[in-house]
Structure 1
Amino acid sequence: MSHHDPTRRTIETHTLYSAHLHEDRTLKVYLPPGYDPANRYPLLYCHDGLEFFTHGRIATIANRMLEAGEIQPLVIVGIAVNKARRNDDYGPDGARREAYTRFVLEECMPFIEDRYAAGGRPAMRFMAGVSLGAAISLSIHLDHPVEFRRLLLFSGAFYRPLLERVEAAEDLSGLEAFMVVGTEETAVETNAGARDFLALNREMRTRLERAGANVTYQEDEGRHIWGFWQRKMPEALAWLQAARMGG
């Protein structure tokens, strides 16, 4: 008998020091009910990771879907954001984008995947983000196309530098992406002024598909807020597994 109560989810928290970012980062880890280290689980990394748990309610939603038999068990890791440096870390031309990317691949991934029976190979490893978190998810794929092939991109902040990088990418056929954007996201206030996220996402979808990516794209009534992303979370998690089963 596993020491985990099969009906109970477990959430574990770690503090990881990053030599690349010169700071501590909190990692929150959701283990599915009945988690058994003898198995190997799919692994979803989330940027703005604590918000994915609190505002996105991803662990609660995953648990509910598991109990209903709508998804297979997975492990979810929330990587805490440094709010003061979010643009630097996640932005398409952020000052710390490369350092943050190295933190995820060289520090976060080994830390988690050595400790938990999850991930371990690209087909079992996914990434999710909202807004700029979606931008860094796509950016990490462009830099390391083998490591992360399946992405959940909620209302991506797909600004010009990232659109241009995708335009320059010759073959993105290794990428599978679930994209969703709200139809009311036409004038979202950002620190760079108001942006039309709906138009940016339409353009990014076109460019990704032109480069051969497999994109599941949705527009739905909604604004640039966690309430909208939380509502789309079940579909995103179901897609992740349907896509995974398909390859």
Structure 2
Amino acid sequence: MSSTEQQTGTVERVEIASRFLKETREVHVYLPHNYSQLYKYPVLYINDGPDYMMMGRMISLLNDRFQDRLAGRFLVVFVPVDKSRRREDYHPEGARNEAYIRFFADELVPMIEEKFAAFPMGPARGIMGSSLGATAALHTLLSYPKKFHYLALQSGAFHESSFASVAGRRDLATVPVYQVVGLQEDQFKSGSGKVIDILALNRQMRDLLQAQGVEVEYGEYDHDHTWGFWQEDLPRALDHFVRHTSF
């Protein structure tokens, strides 16, 4: 191999039969090119996994990132969702939201830590998502605050039940949160045709999290509710994850 040839990580497909969702999910696990079972790695779990892989171009980003031998290594688990049932799984009032969260925490995480060299502690486990996937990430951590200690929220589509669930949760004070939103997201039109002020919702969530003692790294950028924005933001989000999950 020449010194200029890029070393690429591998992506393993793993199936997990969920008793909570009553179906089999296939997740994709990214391993850095120098992954070794002799070490333990932090893990970033990502909602809407296939979209982050394709539209977020995250595999290429990770490969580029890990060319630097000093870059902090971690594993990434891309978790898929059936787009036709996304709201049922991700919305806090969705019919399958509780089942999805239990699948995520009680089935997916133990399987990943059994099969891969993942550091089995809450501070080494993070969850990331965009839009409604960010909302699902938040509620997963709220349901399992000892199992997950990190959140990355891109343009969260938060709901009233989200704010009610965060209020009074002083146990979140040790959770580092990365949160971004676009300045052009004040007139986002949802799939149902409803106009939502995503920008205002994120400002409200930032303020509420900070009121619980949470350290929030918050940013607003001149973008709208699109994958172009979230892809551009990924290097910042991953830098934040590494800074707060290094062991």
TM-score where L is the length of structure 2: 0.93
> Structure 1 98/241 Cα, relative in aligned 2: closer, same or farther at 3 Å?
same
Alignment of 1:54-93 (within 5 A): 54-68=54-68, 71-93=71-93
Matched, 1:203 2:204: yes
Residue 166 of structure 1: how far off its partner (Å):
1.2
Give the counterpart letter for 1:82 in structure 2. D
Aligned AA (1:25): R
Cα distance, 1:18 vs. partner? 1.1
Secondary structure of 2:40's counterpart equals coil
Equivalent residue number for residue 186 of structure 1: 186
Which structure 2 residue ranges, 5 or more long, are not aligned?
Answer: none
Per-residue deviation, residues 155-214 of structure 1 (Å, max 9, x unmatched): 001111101111242442122110000111111111351101000000000000001111
Give the whole-Å Cα distance in 2 for the aligned partners of 1:58 and 1:217. Answer: 21
Output the CA distance in 2 between the equivalents of 1:26 and 1:181. Answer: 30
Unaligned runs of 5+ in 1: none
Q: How does 1:117-196 map to 2 (within 5 A)?
A: 117-192=117-192, 193-196=194-197
Contact 1:8 1:34 in 2 (8 A): no
RMSD, aligned α-carbons: 1.7
Matched residue SS, 2:17: strand
Amino acid at match of 1:226: W
Match of 2:7 in 1: 7
Count the aligned residue pairs: 242
Shift of 1:93: 1.4
Q: CA deviation at 1:69?
A: 5.1
1:216 is matched with 217
**Counterpart for residue 226 of structure 2:** 225
How far residue 70 of structure 1 moved from its aligned partner, in angstroms, is: 6.8
Amino acid at match of 1:242: R
Between the aligned partners of 1:53 and 1:113, the Cα distance in structure 2 is 21
Q: Identical aligned pairs, as a percentage?
A: 36
Give the drift of 1:119.
3.1
Letter in 2 for 1:90: Y
Distance in 2 (alpha carbons) for counterparts of 1:92 and 1:225? 22
Given the two structures, how large is their TM-score scaled by the length of structure 1? Answer: 0.93
Runs ≥4 in structure 1, deviation > 4 angstroms? none
Distance 1:167 1:102 in 2: 22
